[in-house]
Amino acid sequence: MRKKFSSNWKSSKKPRKQRKYVYNAPLHIKKKFLSAHLSKELRKKYNKRNAVLRKGDKIKVMRGKFKKHTGTVEEINMSKKRIYVTGVELTKKDGTKARIQLEASNLMITELNLNDRKRKEIVERKK
């Protein structure tokens, strides 16, 4: 393997190369993998189907054990492509709590965090 990353891997039919594209992608491309669907109200308001998740967004879990749970995004791990949400945690036998990592594709944004100036500009521009 000569190249560390190539955008040509994305267009390949081979699952091996598609996995290679996702795992070896630089962070500015991995950020795009962290997008989630917008709720129906937000879709109408912003004329967009999805948006990249940010810390502070209010979300609803659509799949898995915590389905229909709502919370805010606590932390985003871009290298692992995982999201931590408030209230989504397991209680272990010894009583300690462990946070659960969620995938962005299993979430739906119900309210955007518009405190960030840059994000506000992007949202307003798309409107």
pLDDT at residue number 1: 54
Q: What pTM was estimated for this model as a whole? A: 0.85
Range of the domain at 58: 11-126
**pLDDT over 70 for what percent of the chain?**
95
In-domain check, residue 3: no
Which secondary structure element, helix H or strand E, spans residue 77, and what is its range? strand 70-77
In-domain check, residue 5: no
In-domain check, residue 97: yes
Distance in Å from the first CA to the final CA of the chain: 44
In-domain check, residue 2: no
In-domain check, residue 79: yes
Q: What is the CATH number of the domain that holds 45?
A: 2.30.30.30
In-domain check, residue 6: no
**pLDDT over 90 for what percent of the chain?**
59
Task: Count the domains in the chain.
Answer: 1
Q: For 62-93, what is each residue's pLDDT tens digit? A: 999 999 999 999 999 998 999 999 999 999 99
In-domain check, residue 88: yes
pLDDT at residue number 18: 87
Q: What is the spatial distance between Cα 5 and Cα 9, in angstroms, rounded to a whole number?
A: 8
Q: Give me Rg for the CA atoms of the chain.
A: 17
Sequence-distant contacts of 24-32: CB under 8 A, at least 24 apart = 27/78, 27/79, 30/78, 30/79, 30/81, 31/78
pLDDT at residue number 127: 62
Query: What DSSP letter does each residue of 10-61 carry, written as one string?
Result: GG-S-HHHHHHHHHH--HHHHGGGGEEEEPHHHHHHHS-SEEE--TT-EEEE
